[in-house]
C-alpha cells in the first residue's frame, strides 16, 4: 500500500468472461488492484493467468464483464468511445511485444504521430519527438524506418512513443520477449532509469525473470486472480 498517495489505477471486482455455455472461459475472476504513482511493477503468472487481459482492461482496450476500472479517478465504463480514446491518448502509454510501429514512417515520425493526434503543432511535436529519441539513446537514427532498426532499437522507439504524451502510466506487455539478452537488459535499464529519475509509472506484464527481478513491486496472477502482491525495497 501507498497510503500517502492516491492510486492512478483502481480495479474493483474485475471479472472477464469469454464465450458461452461449456465454451465459457473466465479470464479474470474478481480482481482488486491499485497502482500508485511511481510504481515499477510487474504482473506475472503462467500463460492464461489473465495478465494481458488485465492490462487491456486498465488501458481501456477492453471492458470487464463485471466490476469497475478507474484511471485518475475516472471510471472507464462512464466514458463515451470518444472520451475513452482521448483518455488512452493522453493518460496511457502502451509498449507492445510486437513493437507496433508504423512501417512507412521513420522513427521520429512514429513518435510524432501521437502528438499529431493530440493536435500539437508541427514544430513542437518534432522537437519533442527528437528529445524523446535522445532520451532513449537513439540520436542520429531519427530518419530510419522500422525495417532498418534492430529489434532493440524498435522497442526503444516504442518506449519513446509511449512516453511522448506524458501519460499517467505506461503499460508494457512482454516488452522484452523478442529481444536478445543484452538488448533486453539495456531496455530494462532504460525503463528502470525513467522510473527512478522521472517518476514514470510502469506496469509490465512479463514472463521474463530479469524484468521481475528488477521490479520494485511484483504482482503474481493465477487463474484470473491476484495470488500475491509484494513490494520490494527500492
The answer, yes or no, to whether residue 4 has pLDDT greater than 70, is no
pLDDT of residue 100: 87
Q: Edge-to-edge strand order for the sheet containing 92-95? A: 92-95, 169-173, 202-205, 40-44, 217-222, 225-231
Q: Any residues with CB less than 8 A from the CB of 224 and at least 6 apart, and which?
A: 16, 26, 27, 28, 29, 31, 49, 50, 53
CA distance 202 to 38: 8
pLDDT of residue 118: 86
pLDDT of residue 1: 47
The answer, yes or no, to whether residue 5 has pLDDT greater than 90, is no
DSSP state letter for 19: S
Q: What is the mean predicted confidence (pLDDT) over 135-157?
A: 92
Set out the domains of the chain in order of their start, with CATH numbers. Answer: 38-60+77-231 (3.40.50.300)
- Dump pLDDT digits (tens) for 88-128: 988 999 998 888 899 999 999 999 998 988 889 999 999 99
Amino acid at each position: 500500500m501507498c497510503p500517502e498517495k492516491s492510486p492512478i489505477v483502481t480495479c474493483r471486482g474485475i471479472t472477464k468472461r469469454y464465450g458461452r455455455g461449456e465454451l465459457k472461459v473466465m479470464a479474470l475472476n474478481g480482481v482488486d488492484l491499485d497502482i500508485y504513482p511511481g510504481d515499477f511493477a510487474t504482473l506475472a503468472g503462467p500463460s492464461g493467468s489473465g495478465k494481458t487481459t488485465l492490462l487491456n482492461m486498465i488501458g481501456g482496450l477492453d471492458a470487464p464483464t463485471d466490476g469497475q476500472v478507474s484511471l485518475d479517478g475516472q471510471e472507464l465504463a462512464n466514458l463515451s468511445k470518444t472520451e475513452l480514446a482521448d483518455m488512452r491518448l493522453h493518460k496511457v502509454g502502451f509498449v507492445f511485444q510486437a513493437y507496433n510501429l508504423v512501417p512507412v514512417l521513420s522513427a521520429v515520425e512514429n513518435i510524432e504521430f501521437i502528438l499529431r493526434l493530440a493536435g500539437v503543432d508541427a514544430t513542437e511535436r518534432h522537437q519533442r519527438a527528437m528529445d524523446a529519441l535522445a532520451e532513449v539513446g537513439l540520436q542520429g537514427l531519427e530518419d530510419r524506418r522500422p525495417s532498418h532498426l534492430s529489434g532493440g532499437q524498435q522497442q526503444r522507439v516504442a518506449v519513446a512513443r509511449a512516453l511522448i504524451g506524458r501519460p499517467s502510466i505506461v503499460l508494457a506487455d512482454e516488452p522484452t520477449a523478442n529481444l536478445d539478452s543484452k538488448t533486453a537488459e539495456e531496455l530494462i535499464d532504460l525503463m528502470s532509469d525513467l522510473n527512478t529519475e522521472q517518476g514514470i509509472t510502469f506496469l509490465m506484464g512479463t514472463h521474463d525473470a530479469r524484468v521481475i527481478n528488477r521490479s520494485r513491486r511484483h504482482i503474481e496472477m493465477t487463474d484470473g486472480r491476484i495470488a500475491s502482491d509484494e513490494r520490494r525495497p527500492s
